[in-house]
Structure 1
Amino acid sequence: MTTVLLTLGRLPKALAIVRACRAAGCRVLVADPFRWHVCKPSRDVEKSFRVTAPNDSLSQYLQDLLNIVEQESVDLVIPISEEALHVAQLADKLPARTRLWAAPLAQLAELHHKRDFIALAARKGLPVPETFTANESGARELAQNRDYVEKPVHSCSGIGLRFAKAGESLQSSSEEGLVQTHLEGDLISSLSVVSEGREVATVFYRGRVFAGTVAICFERVDDAAAAQQWVSDFLSDSDYSGFLAFDFIIDESGIARAIECNPRATSGVHFFDLASLGQALLSPESASSIELSSKTRFQWAYSTLTETYAAIFKPREFVRRFKEMLAARDVIWAGHDPLPFLLMTPMSWEILWPAMTSDLSLGEATQRDIAWFGD
């Protein structure tokens, strides 16, 4: 039996991958710096391990993971979120029997860095918005003449995102800040499973209900030809392996422009048939494709409910969100594995408590100990 180690368990996408690997007949382990996480009570997880947070001690974090790999005879290591850039540093330390489902660190770092990714896509001749780091002269000119978006070059979950009107002053002037033209159009996201540059499968989706800038209720998009061509062209000369995600703006003329890249799993994973995804992760070199789920709408039900009630004094928006909630399937609930859903609140306490008692957003509380800042 193949033994799989996931290096994070606190997010719904991790639970989806747990279930995918278990459906493929794997023995599944989960490591997380948090003592409690949504995957911990899952019957599809054989063991959970608490490890050092990489932002507390990277060397100890990597050693903790290596210890699990060696003690449990792990065959496959799958990073889930921001910790992927830390886990990539295990590549030359793993036993010969163990495969890492992640690209090399240099490749991940280039894609994760929002300015470097835009530059890479532009060199490939692909449509992207005008983008600068905040210390470049072009950033000031852009901010004077166009509506723009300002954000850190290393960020996720909408952390540090600011929308500004033309003429408003920049808040950053360093190379760690990004200034990008604010595009109008339809925002859609993609998630691809890629094996040595070969696009095994790609799914597109859009948010229907948001918590801040994070989609918590989302629907599959099946008519994204321009974005699909963009993804295929991007991968045409690549040797990338792993999960790869993009955010696109599709303008009125149908042109797809990628605004950023996430070289990791995203909520798009919920749109894949789990058994098919599990088999592809076990043998990506031989997988021809991945079947899609029969369901086309998914949600984080607790979060969607919260955001629905937050709009209770806006009747039209309240009704819209309520209908979206009724039409979408929860990503945590499974009849054979009910405890992650039933224990969602206590299992998420290490995220919820800091968010309730400090200035941290939920996104920051989720990523604070694993985020990558280009170290």
Structure 2
Amino acid sequence: MSAGTVLLTLGRLPKALDLARSFHAAGWRVVVAEPFRRHLAGASRSVARSVVVTAPATDREAYLAGLLRVVEEEAADLVLPVSEEVVHVAELHGRLPGRTRLFAMPAAAVLAAHDKGAFAAVADRLGLAVPPTYPLGSEAAALLAARQDVVVKPLHACSGRGVLRLRRGAVLPAADPAAPAIVQGMIAGPERSTCSLVHDGVVSGTVVYQGLMHSGSVSIAFERVEDLRIEAFVRAYASATRWTGFLSFDFMLDHEGHPFAIECNPRTTSGLHFFSAEDLARAVLDPTHPLRFQPETRLQQFYSCLTETQLGLFRGGFGRKLRTLLKTRDVTWSRHDPRPFLTMTATSWPIIREAMARRATFGEVATLDVGWRGAPLPTAAPAAPGTATSSTAPASGSAGD
């Protein structure tokens, strides 16, 4: 695809800034559609125009209509979801002009992967390692909680929202049909996460990384590592579902280092920052283009890490956090494009204000207005490539912005 116009469907996160800079460097015109009037990527010289759209949490159809309007006005050649809004943006399949490509799976496939129970069921049927996972309120979930430590989490939670860890034998919370959840066997080892770029089931590149510093459950400093078993899992899932778009997973390692996938994120994660900016846009556009890594194996979100380091004076770990802060490159800073870093506090103020009001972390509230809060999949959902069965089916068996 020759140079054209790309529409990013979120601008507030550093991942959007990476994508904007990469497409701009590749000669593309970059437009951002955002519910916030001011946002991080909008301060970049790489962005030609930012357009305010209705938040999908406010009015989903108005949000989609707004995106379609921007596509028409800007003659967009490519629509590129950035984060949790992908579950909504995927509904544009079949509604876009013939010239416009959407780099995402159809909505049913995206929602099936986003649904934690459905993902576990599909992965288990594919012979991939996942912890035992059952619907909250089922007899199987109660039996699981009686014999081992478990994690209870909403079907569509992100950034650790609503997650509850319980010791073996503890009483499970009551099931709420309005807020369906799963009960999953706890794997007590370290956590690792991934971010991959995939074309029709073929993985162009996968980053495996682990958190160095956290704000709540969200990684704000991270380290790239190698794990061949995790990479094999990603390839197997991507191939079986014939995935196209970004694809990410969270894993827990057992005491022998075996990885178990605890959830799928059908979108980018902070692992995106490890991909070479020179290659990222070209790899989205061309399945044959090599996708290399940045030279750094450690990266951070500076302002979040600064806040967490200051809190370390009272909560502990100050020395370790300070060393990470001083020795790790920020994902936003660029001497060729300094304004996003220098104005981040101002452009992120809507999120900061909401986090203070809720007494929550930045990561927990950053995507509240664009994430999926809908119902679980219907019980009869088919298990064809790119889709998955309902989270009500028992299955055997978080990481950055």
Shorter-chain TM-score range? over 0.9
Change in CA separation of 1:300 and 1:172 when aligned onto 2, cut-off 3 Å? farther
- Tell me the distance in 2 between the aligned counterparts of 1:296 and 1:8: 26
Contact 2:333 2:341 in 1 (8 A): yes
CA contact (8 A) 1:118 1:131 kept: yes
Q: 1:215 aligns with which of 197, 200, 219?
A: 219
Q: In the alignment, what sits opposite 2:343?
A: 343
Structure 1 residues 220-250: Cα deviation after superposition (integer angstroms, max 9, x where no partner): 002x011112112222323110000011112
Which residue matches 2:249?
Answer: 246
In structure 2, the residue corresponding to 1:236 is in which secondary structure? helix
1:137 is matched with which residue?
139
Identity percentage over the alignment? 44
Alignment of 1:30-69 (within 5 A): 30-69=32-71
CA contact (8 A) 1:159 1:363 kept: no
Work out whether residues 215 and 363 of structure 2, in 8 Å CA contact, stay in contact via their aligned partners in 1: no
Deviations 1:38-65 (A, max 9, x none): 1111101000010011111111111111
Question: 1:203 maps to what in 2?
Answer: 207
1:4-15 pair list within 5 angstroms: 4-15=6-17
Of the candidates 208, 216, 227, which is equivalent to residue 230 of structure 2?
A: 227
Alignment of 1:167-316 (within 5 A): 167-174=169-176, 176-222=180-226, 224-284=227-287, 286-287=288-289, 289-313=290-314
Task: Return the alpha-carbon distance in structure 2 between the equivalents of residues 278 and 169 of structure 1.
Answer: 49
Distance 1:363 1:187 in 2: 18
User: 2:250, 2:264 within 8 Å by CA — same for their partners in 1?
Assistant: yes
Cα offset for 1:365? 2.4
The secondary structure found in structure 2 opposite 1:179 is strand
The 10-residue stretch of structure 1 (355-364 or 53-62) with the greater mean CA deviation from structure 2: 355-364
SS in 1 for 2:241: coil
Offset at residue 129 of structure 1 (A)? 0.5
1:165 — aligned with what? Answer: 167
Q: Deviations over 1:105-124 (max 9, x none)?
A: 11101100000000000000
Q: How many angstroms apart in 2 are the aligned matches of 1:187 and 1:357?
A: 30
- 1:80-107 Cα distance to aligned partner (Å, 9 max, x none): 1111011111111111110001001111
Number of the residue aligned with 2:393: none
**Residue 363 of structure 1: how far off its partner (Å):** 3.4
Distance 1:10 1:134 in 2: 34
2:395 aligns with none
**Structure 2 Cα separation of the partners of residues 135 and 314 of structure 1:** 36
Residue of structure 2 equivalent to 1:324: 324
Structure 2 counterpart SS, 1:129: coil
1-side partners of 2:202 and 2:265: how far apart?
Answer: 17
TM-superposed deviation, 1:359 = 4.7
Match in the other structure for 2:399: none
In the TM superposition, structure 1's runs of 4+ consecutive aligned residues that sit over 6 Å from their partners are none
Structure 1: distance between partners of 2:286 and 2:192: 29
Q: Counterpart of 1:210 in 2: which secondary structure?
A: strand
Q: Distance in 1 between matches of 2:321 and 2:174?
A: 35
Residue aligning to 2:372: 372
Q: Give CA-to-partner distance per residue, 1:231-286, whole Å, 9 cap, x none.
A: 122223231100000111122323211010000011010000011011111223x3
2:134 and 2:184 in contact (8 A); partners too: yes
Question: How many residues are matched?
Answer: 371
Contact 2:215 2:361 (C-alpha < 8 Å) held by counterparts: no
Please state how far the C-alpha of 1:332 moved relative to its aligned partner.
1.0
Contact 2:31 2:48 survives alignment (8 Å): yes
Name the SS for the 2:191 alignment partner. Answer: strand
**Are the counterparts in 2 of residues 226 and 254 from structure 1 also a CA contact under 8 Å?**
no
CA RMSD of aligned residues (A): 1.3
Q: TM-score, normalization: structure 2?
A: 0.90
Q: CA deviation at 1:290?
A: 0.2
**Which residue of the partner structure matches residue 76 of structure 1?**
78
Q: Give the TM-score normalised by structure 1.
A: 0.96
Structure 1: gaps (5+ residues): none
Q: How far does the alpha carbon of each residue in 1:332-362 deviate from its partner, in whole angstroms, 9 at most, with x for none? A: 1111111111111110011011111235543
Give the structure 1 partner of residue 108 of structure 2.
106
Partners in 2 of 1:259 and 1:66 — Cα distance? Answer: 34
Matched residue type, 1:318: F
| Alpha-carbon contact 2:25-2:278 (below 8 Å) kept | yes
SS at 1:8 equivalent: coil
Shift of 1:5: 0.5
Tell whether the 8 Å contact from 1:84 to 1:102 is kept in structure 2 after alignment.
yes
8 Å contact from structure 2 (residues 26, 282) kept in 1: yes
- Per the alignment, residue 121 of structure 2 pairs with 119
